[in-house]
Chain A
């Protein structure tokens, strides 16, 4: 009897799970208050009014900003007797501010939906006579059973605001006329649909550059991945032979280029391979060979890039392969010895397949990373030598360095965005496909 009355007492003020849900639809937190969950209710209600204020005060402006990208350009205005520059709308700032607002609203919407669901579920629990969590218990429950969501929330929020939002911003730029000649705050920028996409494929200068650069990008990615792998594999095999002495010494030496900051070693190598005063050419001349145009001839420059990248990249691969090699059980080789296999057969039938099995996903990721290998190319050749037939690109420019030149040096932001979208499409499908095939994704404990 006593117990019964307590449950009676704790019932929602207004009964019915729908009532609580409807109350929460009207005002966030109201349903929770109705369920007598005061702490949660008050927090949600504060959020509701803050959100409502934001929506009324800021949302219309944000929508206006996104749709029009500003209406008044900067202009000269007569103030007294003098003409003065008056600031107009800054399209780019409007675009970013609008985006931030939209993102915040989506966040709020997610909380709002959760709030309604929560009010409904709690009211049902109440009706069924079950005990409900106090505010403290709720917090405890969240920490205990919603730990993954909470722990992941901070990283994800960071990613959303510093990665997703900027990416959305850049994608939107592809549909505008944002170039150096249309530069805020002096001018407004406008939406102009798919025109930039059309230009890239239709205008001859653009499409020629686009196809040329894409072809070299793919070639570069294949060549640089394969050379790094081959060099790493051979060196690892050589070091790990049983009767090679000073294993540790060799490994340390080969890690050295990896330890020196990449941009330092690349800039060093740029000087080492310099055609006029680089030591490599000096030695070649000393030995009676001619000078080689390492970085100034298109074909040589490409070769030098692959070479340098191999030098900088093989140590990591080597370390990984050494790791794999050490996991191959020795008795496999002993068995092979008994069967009379020679070194080459052992390599072909035991070592190579085992290494490939573990290295394949890494190789694919390397390939993907090499498509975007900005640093080596930017620091070694800067995309040069210049190609007269290309639009703002040199012979050794890959897509990503071309993108950099287009946006940072030439101010062709809309074209750069289209290239960025293309790179993204090229990579993402490919990468997801390969990631989903890696063991860590497939063979998961459940």
Chain B
């Protein structure tokens, strides 16, 4: 073997080893929780990684002991509605800041960006009182409104993307007599598919993940979302059932993971195109 091909072999082998190790670390927790969810009993502890017998009991328990099906419906409802609103708001804000020049534009942009840094629950008490005044406590509308209202703070990503769309395209559409809204919905949105997918994905996963604020607002069991419900299951000190928690994790992770894998192609494109323009 020549020196050159030996070095190549070493490089490739070490690369594969590194990748496999990293992959193991990535997969292991997911695999572990999946296997635990099928394991009889309620302890996570086990002598073997592969359970000796499989059971679907924990999944059944979730639906019997908790309104898990309702949580599913709630989460999807909130996720879909708030995603639609938030996405339009984020895209619109980014579009306006990218395409138009008007007085106060830069200071408004800086203001929004700075506000985005403010720790969210600093203001939770005030938002809570506000929602109370609007009679929106323990409603899904509250969660939707609050997440949609905060969405425009994260416009920078969509703005950087729109900055790359040739201005002449927009001007051509305008000359052809398209109004601003028409241009936006008919031309800009179709042109920015990767961005839309990215923004939708980010907003859609929110209700599956955010539980701190949702927990404050949604009080009765039938109103909860998956995240709130599952967090309450796992922090319930009276009956710790790790295997059931594992089953719940699997049920939450499945739709999101499926969506990610399905949209992976766009995700990479959206992330990088936004990133390049930083």
Contact = CB atoms under 8 A, between A and B. Distances in A.
Interface of A: 92-93, 96-97, 100, 143-144, 147-149, 151-152, 154-156, 158-159, 161-167, 169-170, 231, 234-235, 238-239, 241, 243-244, 250-265, 267-269, 271-272, 274, 277-279, 282, 311, 315-316, 319-320, 322-324, 326-327, 343, 358-362, 368, 372, 374, 400, 403-404, 407-408, 413, 416-417, 420, 423-424, 427-428, 431-432, 435-436, 438-441, 444-446
B100 to A, nearest CB: 4
A152 B227 contact: no
A216 B89 CA distance: 37
B50 interface: no
Nearest to B201: A259
A326 B208 CA distance: 33
A163 B256 contact: no
Interface string B130-163: 1001000000000001101111110010011001
A163 B149 contact: yes
Contact of A271 (B15, B100, B242): B242
A441 B155 CA distance: 13
A238 B18 CA distance: 8
A320 B271 contact: yes
B277 interface: yes
Interface in B8-34: 8, 11-12, 15-16, 18-19, 22-23, 25-30, 32-33
A23 B139 CA distance: 46
Q: Specify the main secondary structure of chain A where it touches its partner.
A: helix
B277 A439 contact: yes
B127 interface: yes
B19 to A, nearest CB: 6
Contacts of B117: 368, 372, 424, 427-428, 431
A257 B26 contact: yes
A23 to B, nearest CB: 26
A327 B256 contact: no
Contacts, number: 264
Interface residues of B, number: 97
A358 B256 contact: no
Given A258-B260, A271-B242, A446 B101 contact: yes
A358 B274 CA distance: 11
B261 interface: yes
Given A165-B126, A324-B275, A372-B117, 5 more contacts: A156-B108, A241-B15, A251-B268, A311-B25, A424-B117
Interface in B185-229: 205, 208-209, 211-212, 227
Given A92-B129, A162-B149, A235-B22, A169 B30 contact: no
A92 B125 CA distance: 10
Given A234-B18, A260-B253, A324-B275, A253 B23 contact: yes
B27 A253 contact: yes
Contacts of A252: 261, 264
Given A156-B108, A265-B29, A432-B113, A167 B122 contact: yes
B278 A439 contact: yes
A100 B133 CA distance: 11
Contact of A435 (B93, B105, B110, B145): B110
Interface in B35-70: 43-45, 49
